[in-house]
Chain A
Amino acid sequence: MKTSRLLEGLKARDPRAIGRAISLVENGDESAEAILSALDENFVSEAVIIGITGPPGAGKSTLTNSIISELRQSGKRIGIIAIDPSSPISGGAILGDRIRMMQHATDHDVVMRSMATRGRLGGLCATAGAAVRIMASSGCSFIIIETVGVGQSEMDIIRLADITLLVLAPGLGDDIQAMKAGLLEVADILVVNKADCKGADILAMDLEAVTRKGSSTPTQVSMTVATESKGIAELLDRIDKLDSEHRDTGERKTRRRAAHEQEVLDWCLEMLRPKLQAEITKRELPLLGDPRLKAKKILEEQ
């Protein structure tokens, strides 16, 4: 599709145009620049971006699905980006989060995209960020990024979010301990899903002591049973209140600034990588000698 037609399509909220635009950015196509620079900035700055992460089996996709259903009732246009890992061996991926949200497939105000990590580090973040912007400029006021919270690249994704939900479920045991180092301190709301199962209350109690880095108050804990849409309205309410709070205190702006700068840095690295790679190859470096010094030399000469 020609770029001009694509941009018209985005404005008209045509699903094909949105899908195509995201693909072009994902594939590093030349036309991506033109598309990204023509996006409607107002929509982008207004949209609320929610990050949903957590260990496998916690029920993230089911929760996302319930959130979508609830938001659709108030007529919101929603975007979802579901991220799954690529196989390090084949480079392929099974993108299976969509399965639990297929009831919304024919709803034009639910824009969904499944994305594979493709083994990129910062690159994934950059692409997901671009997808968020594309969705926002097509009128999505709520955008959800769903990832499995175990890898470093998934941790980075969370930076893109205004508000992060960490979804846990009773019986997942050791995963909680493993996560203490990272995600627990990054989440804005801790969601105990499968709240009707044994151990949910104990888990909620354990989480009461968790505090977000830099905050003085403990992180809020929400209880949900996503399969029965229980606790969803309350969760959205909390998100809404938190969002208002962040706007008032300037926290939202601070986070967006940090994310924006990080995104620009990621793009810089993405763009520099091939150039530097070419330079390194060109020089046919000998095997002896300290790599760090060589790097310094190359950069000085750029």
Chain B
Amino acid sequence: MTKHPKLVEWEEKELAKSLNRFPERKDKFTNHGGEEIPRLATPENMDDRYLEKISFPGQYPFTRGVQPTMYRGRLWTMRQYAGFSTAAESNKRYRYLLEQGTTGLSVAFDLPTQIGYDSDDPMSLGEVGKVGVAIDSLADMETLFDQIPLDKVSTSMTINSPAAILLAMYVAVGEKQGVAPEDIKGTIQNDVLKEYVARGTYIFPPKPSLRLITNIFQWCGQKTPAFNTISISGYHIREAGSTAVQEVAFTLANGCTYVQTALDAGLELDIFARRLAFFFNASSDLLEEVAKFRAARRLWARLMKERFGARKPTSLMLRFHTQTAGNTLTAQQIDNNIVRVTIQALAAVFGGTQSLHTNSKDEAHSLPTEESVRTALRTQQILAHESGVADTIDPLAGSYYIEALTDKIEREALALIHKIEESGGVVKCIEEGFIQRQIENAAYQYQLEIERSERIIVGVNKFQIQEDKKPPLLRVNPEVEKTQVAKLTEVKKNRNNEQVTNRLTKLETAAQGDGNLMPHIYDCVKEYATLGEICNVLRKVFGEYKDRG
């Protein structure tokens, strides 16, 4: 049987290039019987529709994946979100995870840190170290990455409004370790638009927040080219109750807003676009989720090409991290959650994710224990090494259902993006509450279905049992707040306070102007100015965003 010329072309171009750069994990992928597992299944008749809409992995519009060899070349990064209480405790957990086989670190910060408050701020009472690590100054960051060489790991930081500050701290830690900024790898979430509608850790109003984001794009473009400057997120939007279509639409609309803002600030598309990353949810409807990921990739590629005129393939690729859906975890019969997470992780793998976090079974109760986290990690490892799904690329392609669903989600998401644009753009829609209302209505509908048992949640509204056994839970040491405040006081005593004031003043002046704030923030951070001190300066100049309810 003769191969289609387009397939041959792909094999000789994109695939060959990829294989040259790094070979596949094995010389041959075989099943139990010794038969070879094909790299890519394609239709016998490769028609125009296939070539245009589905194409090949690593080729526009990337429906089948962003790399030509996908998981045959390299498995997705197993990146478990972690972090709690103090930097020292978190450091211990990170070193444990690295020993157990995690291939990337993901830092969770506590709410005061995410909202720009120091641990001794009255707003922080009761919240220090609860949902993540408390970082008040560079000193905490140094402890966090103690004995972890920053040129050997890639770190994803879930930080948004104060992302510039945490990024500066990370680079400063690297510098102290002797690691050059251009070797620093990782991601900062830095996606403020979704904060206003789904996550709530906003500080400043939209316009100055977008300014900070473009400052980061620019600074990183020159100083840390291997670092992903933004993780445009749909995860939280979905967690807040949106549908799969809304998740794609709002995320990509936010993405377009960031791209336009950067272009308006004079940045070059094909330079910053390659460092844009995405973050999606993997929910329980396996088939819909797989279609969703494929639709998102195709839609983004089209938007970047047709609307923004991006030329380099790297500017058109939607690379994403996935987390399994937190809002599906039940407090009842928690072992069931392991099954849910497995299905969701499978969806993400079928969907071609670049990295994955799997939730632990006890997370509807509190932060996970070491044991639960290990099981969550093992789930990924079993999928990768025992299930065979990583040995062939985009295996569900060609399924009538999957392809139809992919088309449908793409179509509906694009229509919703157009609606947002007609209504004046994302920022306007946020201010008007349009996006929030869409999410709220979807969430309300979903919950009603559960309450009416029209939608079954096993163990919750059907197949319930009487449970007496209490699962062992992780308790955050209540002394954490005291310890952290004590450390903060020490830092403030030992630093050069004159220099700190000096740098903060310079930052304030710069914030009132139009220049890039990153160098000033970096200077502040190096002098051990605290997160709260830096944010308060910015609050003074930019004001604070108020929720419209």
Contacts and interface: CB of A to CB of B under 8 A. Distances in A.
A99 B432 contact: no
A171 B546 contact: no
A57 B433 CA distance: 8
Interface in A94-145: 96, 99-100, 103
Interface in B157-197: none
Contact of B547 (A57, A99, A171, A228): A99
A3 interface: no
A214 to B, nearest CB: 35
Contact of A99 (B424, B428, B543, B548): B548
A227 interface: yes
A100 B546 contact: yes
B266 interface: no
Given A57-B432, A171-B424, A99 B205 contact: no
B145 to A, nearest CB: 38
A99 B548 CA distance: 7
Contacts of B548: 62, 99-100
Name the interface size band of chain A: under 10
Contacts of A57: 432-433
Interface string B532-549: 000000000001001111
Contacts of B546: 62, 100, 103, 227
B424 A96 contact: no
A228 B549 CA distance: 18
Interface in A69-105: 96, 99-100, 103
A227 B205 CA distance: 10
Nearest to B546: A100
Listed residue (B428, B432, B547) with the most chain A CB atoms within 10 angstroms of its CB: B432
Contacts of B543: 228
Given A171-B424, A227-B205, A96 B549 contact: yes
Nearest to B432: A57
Contacts of B424: 171
A60 to B, nearest CB: 11
Interface in A188-210: none
Nearest to B434: A57
A99 B547 CA distance: 8
Nearest to A97: B549
Contacts of B547: 99-100
Contacts of B428: 171
Contacts of A62: 546, 548
Contacts of B432: 57
Nearest to A57: B432
Listed residue (A62, A227, A228) with the most chain B CB atoms within 10 angstroms of its CB: A227
B205 A100 contact: no
A99 B549 CA distance: 6
Interface in B201-240: 205
Nearest to A172: B432
B363 to A, nearest CB: 29
Interface string A266-295: 000000000000000000000000000000
A227 B433 CA distance: 15
B202 to A, nearest CB: 14
Interface in B238-289: none
Interface string B425-450: 00010001100000000000000000
Contacts of A103: 546
Interface string A34-74: 00000000000000000000000100001000000000000
B458 to A, nearest CB: 31
B204 to A, nearest CB: 12
Contacts of B549: 96, 99-100
A91 B317 CA distance: 51
A171 B205 CA distance: 21
Nearest to B433: A57
Contacts of A96: 549
A171 B427 CA distance: 14
A69 to B, nearest CB: 12
B277 to A, nearest CB: 31
Given A100-B546, A100-B547, A228-B543, 15 more contacts: A57-B432, A57-B433, A62-B546, A62-B548, A96-B549, A99-B547, A99-B548, A99-B549, A100-B548, A100-B549, A103-B546, A171-B424, A171-B428, A227-B205, A227-B546
Interface of A: 57, 62, 96, 99-100, 103, 171, 227-228
18 contacts: A57-B432, A57-B433, A62-B546, A62-B548, A96-B549, A99-B547, A99-B548, A99-B549, A100-B546, A100-B547, A100-B548, A100-B549, A103-B546, A171-B424, A171-B428, A227-B205, A227-B546, A228-B543
Interface of B: 205, 424, 428, 432-433, 543, 546-549
Give me the 3 closest cross-chain CB pairs, A-B, nearest first: A99-B549, A96-B549, A57-B432
